[in-house]
Structure 1
């Protein structure tokens, strides 16, 4: 599932491609992927200029000139591709937005969605999310205060979207590894020094992942060589049975709250 770095990468690349352009055609192949009548969706979106694309947590917000917002959550299995009909993947397309001869394809939206809202409604839908971890206003003090109010395992806390927005399976593992702390550790047992280290790790791992295009390796357009680059430099995620790059011990996988969790049992304490 795409997490904060993946969605931030998509936001940046798509703003370069389609911000400021007019939506010339709307195609809906799966009505369950949207939240309103297809005809109303088309009427509201067609011929609108896409002002820009923003991100909140794991969501993208496509902001239209008429004040409407297309709220995207890819969920598990969802992805996007931008290009011509000749370039498009041979996959089922749920929704297509056209920009002249080029199109933005929404693929795999079986669990994900592209919903149409007024801007205030979109804000309400996302109001439950926790702070953005890379915002300058998100401080170590706020992080520590939030940790102090939580219980259970560290992994479960980090992926709680009401605790912090945007961190999921992959980056919770990478953050815990960077901090040298076991994701299985009870959060009540985490010291103040460990809280500081976790905060610093969040601030280092996520920007590094964004810089490398996230871990999901599906290019978003022809010639996109950035997307998915983090998968090649990840330290523990999806590396069960491989050697730890820090100490040489074997990376293990454990299931926590029905989520696969990867860590080094030797150098994470």
Structure 2
């Protein structure tokens, strides 16, 4: 599932390519991918300019000229591609926006969605999200306060979107590895040094992943940035491989129904 670095990378690319452009046509091939009747969706989106694209947590917000906002959550298996009809991937396309010769394809929205909201509806939908971990307000002091009196396993709390927004399965493991902390540790067992290191690792890993384009497939033909972090993951999906730091084998376990990867040699 795309996480903060992937969606932030998409936000940057979308603003470079479609901000200020008019959506000339809308095609909906899967009605369940939208939250209103397809006819109503098309009526409110077609012939509208995309003013800007924002990101909140793992979701993108397409602000339209008429005041409506499209909320995109790719969930598991979803992606986007921008290009011509000849360039598009050979995949099932649930929704398509046309910008003249170029199109924005929403692909693999089996669980994902593109919902239409007014400002009030959107604020209600996003009201329970936690702080943004790459935002200016997310300081070490704010994180120390956030962690006070918290209980439960570290992995489970890091992926809790009401606690911190944007971190999921992949980056929670990469963050724990960078911090040298086991993901199954109980939060109330961590000392101030552990929590401070965890904060630094959150900031570093997410920014590093964004710098390398996250782990998604290319956004357009010739895109050499998107997906660059896939080969740089240290533990995620590396079961049985040797740890790049200490040489021990990477282990896979299930924590709270989530696959979790870590090194027992240099994480404690």
TM over 0.5: yes
- How many residues are treated as equivalent by the alignment? 268
Matches within 5 A, 1:87-98: 87-98=87-98
Aligned positions of 1:44-83 closer than 5 A: 44-83=44-83
Q: Alpha-carbon deviations, 1:74-111, whole Å to 9, x = none?
A: 00011111111111111111110110111101111111
Greater alpha carbon shift after TM alignment, 155-164 vs 226-235: 226-235
Quote how far apart the aligned CAs of 1:256 are. 0.3
Tell me the CA shift for residue 150 of structure 1: 2.0
Q: Deviations over 1:51-96 (max 9, x none)?
A: 1110000000000011100000000011111111111111111110
Aligned equivalent of 1:257: 256
Instruction: Return 5+ residue gaps in structure 1 as ranges.
Output: none
User: What does residue 42 of structure 1 align with?
Assistant: 42
Matched, 1:100 2:100: yes
Q: Counterpart of 1:234? A: 233
Counterpart Cα distance in 2 of 1:221 and 1:72: 18
Separation (CA, whole Å) in 2 of partners of 1:231 and 1:80 = 17
For the pair 1:243 / 2:224, whether they are aligned, the reply is no
| CA displacement at 1:234 relative to structure 2 | 1.2
Which secondary structure does the structure 2 equivalent of 1:229 belong to? coil
Q: Deviations over 1:4-40 (max 9, x none)?
A: 0000011111111111100000001111000011111
Q: Counterpart of 1:184 in 2: which secondary structure?
A: coil
Structure 2 residue runs of 5 or longer lacking an equivalent are none
* Alignment partner, residue 32 of structure 1: 32
Measured against aligned partners, the alpha-carbon deviations of 1:159-183 in whole angstroms (never above 9, x if no partner) come to 0000000000000001001101000
Alpha-carbon distance in 2 for matches of 1:5, 1:65: 27
Q: Please tell me whether residue 266 in structure 1 is matched to residue 240 in structure 2.
A: no
Instruction: Quote how far apart the aligned CAs of 1:120 are.
Output: 2.5
Q: Is residue 142 of structure 1 aligned with residue 142 of structure 2? A: yes
TM-score (normalised: structure 1): 0.98
Q: What is the deviation of 1:221?
A: 0.7
SS at match of 1:90: coil
| Residue 161 (str. 1) matches residue 161 (str. 2) | yes
Matched, 1:195 2:195: yes
Q: TM-score, normalised by structure 2?
A: 0.98
Offset at residue 119 of structure 1 (A): 2.1
Residues 229-264 of structure 1 show CA distances to partners (whole Å, capped at 9, x for unaligned) of: 011111111111111111111111111011111111
SS at match of 2:178: helix
Backbone CA RMSD of aligned residues: 0.8
User: In 1, are the aligned partners of 2:62 and 2:69 still within 8 Å (CA)?
Assistant: yes
Structure 1 residue aligned with 2:125: 125
Please give the per-residue CA displacement for 1:208-234, whole angstroms capped at 9, x wherever unaligned.
Answer: 000000022x11110111111011111
Q: Which of structure 1's runs of 4+ aligned residues deviate more than 4 A?
A: none
Q: Is the CA contact (8 Å cut-off) linking 2:149 and 2:188 kept in structure 1? A: no
Does the CA contact (< 8 Å) of 2:251 and 2:264 recur in 1?
yes
